[in-house]
Structures are given as C-alpha cells and as structure tokens.
Amino acid sequence: MKCEFCGANIDIESPICPHCGMQKRQFEQHRSDMNRFQREFQTVKEGVVEENKRFSKNASYITVICGLVILNLVLIVGLFMNWDIYKYITSKDISRHMNEHIQKLDQYETDGEFEAFYSYYQSNDLQYCDEDSPLEEYRLMQRFCSNYDYVLRYLPQVSIKGYAPASSYRVETQMEMIVESYNSMVKLYNDYVLDDQYHSSYSERCFLQKHIDSYEAMIKNTEYFLMTYCEWDEDQLEEFKTGSKAKQILMIEEAYEKEGISHEEE
C-alpha cells in the first residue's frame, strides 16, 4: 500500500511510514478491523463448539435410546420366536422317535396303564407333534388319561381322614378336582364317542374300538375306585353319577369324615 502522506510504498502491517515517519491511519483502521474480526471469529468459533457439544450430547442420547429400543425389540421378537423355535425343534425330535413313541403308548394302553400313558405323553411333549402326525390318534386318549390321573392322584388323599396329602392343594380343592375330572371324562365320552358330529374335532383313528374300550375302562375304573375308597354301594354310586356337582362333592366330603375309614381308629 502507499503512504497517504508521502506516497511511498509501505507494508500494511507497519504502523509508521519508514520514509516520512508519519503514523498511518490505515494501520489503526486495519488493526481495529482485525481485532473486530478476531472477536467475531472467536464468538463464532465458541458458538460452533458449543453447538457441536450440544449436538454430540443429544446424538449420544438418541443413539443410546435407539439402541435400547432395538434391543427391546430384539428381545420381544426373540421371546415370541423362542416358543416357535422350541415347538419346531420338539416336533422334529418327535418325528425322529415316532416309532418308539407309538410303541410305548400302545403298550401302556394295552396294559391299562393309563397313568403311565399320560406321564410318558407329557414328559416327551407329544402334544407338539405335527397335525398330520400318527400321534394325533392319541390326542383324545391323552385328555382322558389326564383326568384319570387326577382322580387316582387325589382320591386316596381325600377319602381317608388323617391321610397325609402329598399335594399342596387343600383337601376341599382336591375333592372338587376329583369331581371335575370324573365329569370331564363322562362329558368327553358323551360328546366325542356317542355323538358323531364332534368326531371332526379329532383324528378318526381316535375312535378306533381299542381306544373307545380304553375310554370306557377309565370311567369304569374311576367309578370302582370311588365305591372302594368311599365305601359306597351301587345305589350310592348311582346317586353320585346323577347328582349335581355340589352333591357329588358333598358325598366325597361325607366319606372323608366317615369314622369307619379314619386312620386314627386303625
């Protein structure tokens, strides 16, 4: 630039002209502008840094929240999928041992070991077999055996006063379960064996004569056990069979309270 006094070429950064010794007003203006630019730059810089900090902090929160949401979604999907995966794996395992399962169930049914049938069916999760599986033949049998198992498990406990129960259920609850289990077997037989319109709910093979004989045997056995443990005669059994649920429970309660079968007197 040129000195405004002598016209000589001088450096803009120099505060005094080396030729005439005059102080440059341009320098003062330049220094003032530079200071102003420096302050503005610093202000902008600090603002940008602060904004970046806020953005980084918010971005971190958003990232954490998104991560938690995704993790929860994965866990939820996993829980639902886990059940499907379990059923899929179980059904494949059942298929691999199909002949063994059928042989076992047939043997238990032939021997009249209906409790063992139910235990084997449940412990091997055979209810998860495919719909077109040969094991569909035993699905109705499993329902009968489930009720039959309840009767044989609880009847000795509620028919003998003073008997130490192995169950956590109260005696009154066990009595109700016995009555409900017996009535369920009778209803299953009436609905699915005697009434053809319900057959479509199960495989036709559920109604083979050997299975029907087993259904009838479980009902007859239950009635025999009731007569034995409760010390009933034929008339009392008939009264039980035709009575209401409340009447049936009352009859079992009376047998439980009957002094003749109390352990304390034995």
- How do residues 203-217 score in pLDDT, each as one tens digit? 899 999 999 999 999
Choose between 248 and 13: higher pLDDT: 248
Buried b (16+ CB within 10 A) or exposed e, 239-253: ebeeeeeeebbebbe
pLDDT in tens, 123-140: 999 988 887 889 999 999
pLDDT of 240 over the 90 cut: yes
**pLDDT confidence bin for 97, thresholds 50/70/90:** very high
70: Cα within 13 Å, side-chain hemisphere: 6
Q: Are 148 and 221 in contact (CB under 8 A)?
A: yes
Helices 98-110, 114-123: crossing angle, 10 deg rounding: 160
**Per the structure block, which two tokens stand in for 197?**
């319109």
Helix ranges (DSSP H) in the chain: 25-96, 98-110, 114-123, 139-159, 171-188, 209-230, 234-242, 245-257
Position with higher pLDDT, 51 vs 87: 87
Is-contact 224 130, C-beta < 8 A?
no
Sequence-distant (6+) residues with CB within 8 A of 58 are: none
pLDDT value of residue 110: 96
**Cα–Cα distance measured from residue 213 to residue 219, given in angstroms and rounded to the nearest whole number:** 10
Quick one: which of 152, 260, 230, 143 has its CA closest to 193?
143
Q: Which residues are within 8 A (CB) of 101 and not within 5 positions of it... i.e. 6 or more apart?
A: 94, 124, 126, 135
Q: Residue 196: what pLDDT?
A: 78
Task: Tell me the percentage of the chain whose pLDDT exceeds 90.
Answer: 41
Contact 199, 207 (CB under 8 A): yes
Q: Give pLDDT, residue 263.
A: 41
For residue 263, give both structure tokens: 């352990």
Q: pLDDT at position 245, please?
A: 94
For the four alpha carbons of 181, 185, 187 and 191, in that order, the dihedral sign comes to: positive
Q: Describe the crossing of helices 245-257 and 209-230 by its angle, rounded to 10 degrees.
A: 50
Average pLDDT, the chain: 80
Per-residue pLDDT tens digits for 161-200: 555 455 556 778 888 999 999 999 999 999 999 987 777 8
Highest mean pLDDT among 72-81, 86-95, 236-245: 236-245
Number of Cα atoms under 13 Å in the Cβ half of residue 186: 13
pLDDT band at 220 (very low <50, low <70, confident <90, very high): very high
Tokens of 219: 């009902």
pLDDT bucket at 109, cuts 50 / 70 / 90: very high
User: What's the pLDDT at 180?
Assistant: 95
Which pTM value belongs to this model?
A: 0.65
Q: What is the pLDDT of residues 15-62, one digit of tens each?
A: 666 666 656 566 566 667 667 767 766 776 676 666 666 656 666 667
Q: How confident is the model at residue 87 (pLDDT cuts 50, 70, 90)?
A: confident
CA 226 to chain centre: 37
Residue of 254 and 117 predicted with greater confidence: 117
Kindly indicate the confidence band of residue 244, based on its pLDDT and cuts at 50, 70 and 90.
very high
How far apart, in whole angstroms, are the C-alpha atoms of residue 219 and residue 193? 13
Q: How confident is the model at residue 79 (pLDDT cuts 50, 70, 90)?
A: low
